[in-house]
Amino acid sequence: MTGDGGASGDDVGSGSGAPPVVLKLGGSLITEKDRPETLDEDALAAACDAVAGALADGAVERLVVVHGGGSFGHHHASEHGVSTTAGTGDADAVMDIHGAMTELNRAVLDRLHERDVPAVPVHPLSLSARPEGPDGALDLPLSSTATLLGEGFVPVLHGDGVATTGSGITVVSGDELVVELAVGLGARRVGVCSTVPGVLDGDGDVIPSIDSFEAVADALGASDATDVSGGMAAKVRELLALDAPAYVFGAAGLAPFLRGEDAGTRID
């Protein structure tokens, strides 16, 4: 959660207007995660269609988007041995990871702009830090994101490198950013769109709702492809920390979620 130098709901809030919706587009959804630096063009287009439609229809008034690293950031982070706990002091490694993420971010922004979504980038490497080291709290000031929301933009953040005391640069995951944004901006709903229709039990069926990690711990495993940020178990842990209802769903659940309906697995 946010450290002393970061923003909280009391410090920033969502400004004037309705509390925002925070949406994460998973890296495994919008990229071919087992093929380095390859977009899943159809999935990304469909996701951007849903976002544009919800904004145009007024189903969502204020929206913050976060996207994961997929085959862009995760590929380079894995090659350089960088994760949420292991860092690097090599500037070239940092640029490989951050450069790949800004390339993916630009692709997401371009598709949103094609649909008249007023999306703008917010790069966590330039804002955030872990002043107390890899195990310390994330300091993510949110005044710029809140102000962008207030001015009618759709801020788009992404998994990225983060300055980390004693470890150079480590990885901040999109899932952790979602939690920080939801708490600091007073989000009313949170959605995580992935390649699966929800959080699955041991039989592969969607778990309708989760209110404690212990109840589903045995059913949750690691991601199938290279993922330096923890897979579904980490997602569930992060989302359980929220006050706002959160949902994990597949591509088919994105439009219903944005309309305010239940989708996939509800976590609260």
Which residue positions form the known binding site for substrate?
69, 74, 174
CA distances from 133 to 73, 175, 234 (A): 21, 19, 19
Q: Which residues are annotated as a binding site for ATP?
A: 24-28, 70, 231, 235
Helix, strand, coil shares of the chain, percent, nearest 5, are 35, 20, 45
Task: For tokens 């899943």, name the residue.
Answer: 40
DSSP assignment string, 194-245: -SSSS-B-TTSPBPSEES-STTTGGG----SS--SS-HHHHHHHHHHT-SS-
Q: How are beta strands 119-121 and 154-158 bridged, if at all? A: parallel
Element (H, E) at 168: strand 168-172
Which residues make up each annotated binding site?
24-28, 69-70, 74, 174, 231, 235
Other Cβ atoms less than 10 A from the Cβ of 56: the count is 12
Q: Distance (Å, rounded) from C-alpha 175 to C-alpha 159? A: 8
Q: Rounded to whole angstroms, how far apart are CA atoms 95 and 107?
A: 18
